Amino acid sequence: MGMTVVRPVVIKAIVTEAFKKQYISDLEETVRRLDAVVQQIDVQIRRAELERQLTPQMRAFRQQLEVERSRQEAARLELQARIKEAEGLELNSEFSQGTIESLVQLNVGDNFLTRLGRAEVVVKDGIVIEIREE
Whether residues 44 and 75 share a domain: the answer is yes
Radius of gyration, CA atoms only, the chain? 23
User: What pLDDT shows up at residue 71?
Assistant: 96
Pick from 4-13, 22-31, 65-74, 110-119: least confident: 110-119
Q: How many helices and strands, by DSSP H and E, does the chain display?
A: 3, 4
Answer yes or no: do 4 and 36 share one domain: no
Give the amino acid at 30: T
User: CB count, 10 Å around CB of 86?
Assistant: 20
Nearest to 20 by CA among 77, 82, 74: 82
Find the domain containing 117 and state its range.
1-16+91-134
- For 21-37, write each residue's pLDDT tens digit: 999 999 999 999 999 99
Residues 68 and 110 in one domain: no
Final residue of a domain: which of 90, 105, 126? 90
Looking at the fold, whether 26 and 37 belong to one and the same domain comes out as yes
Residue 51 has pLDDT above 80, yes or no: no
Which of 45, 39, 71, 41 is closest to 58 using CA atoms?
45
| pLDDT above 80: residue 54 | no
Longest dimension (CA), the chain: 74
Number of domains in the chain: 2
Say if residue 114 is in the same domain as residue 128: yes
For 61-102, the pLDDT digits (tens) are 888 999 999 999 999 999 999 999 999 999 999 999 999 999
How high is the pLDDT of residue 52? 65
Which of 3, 6, 17 is closest to 103 using CA atoms?
Answer: 6
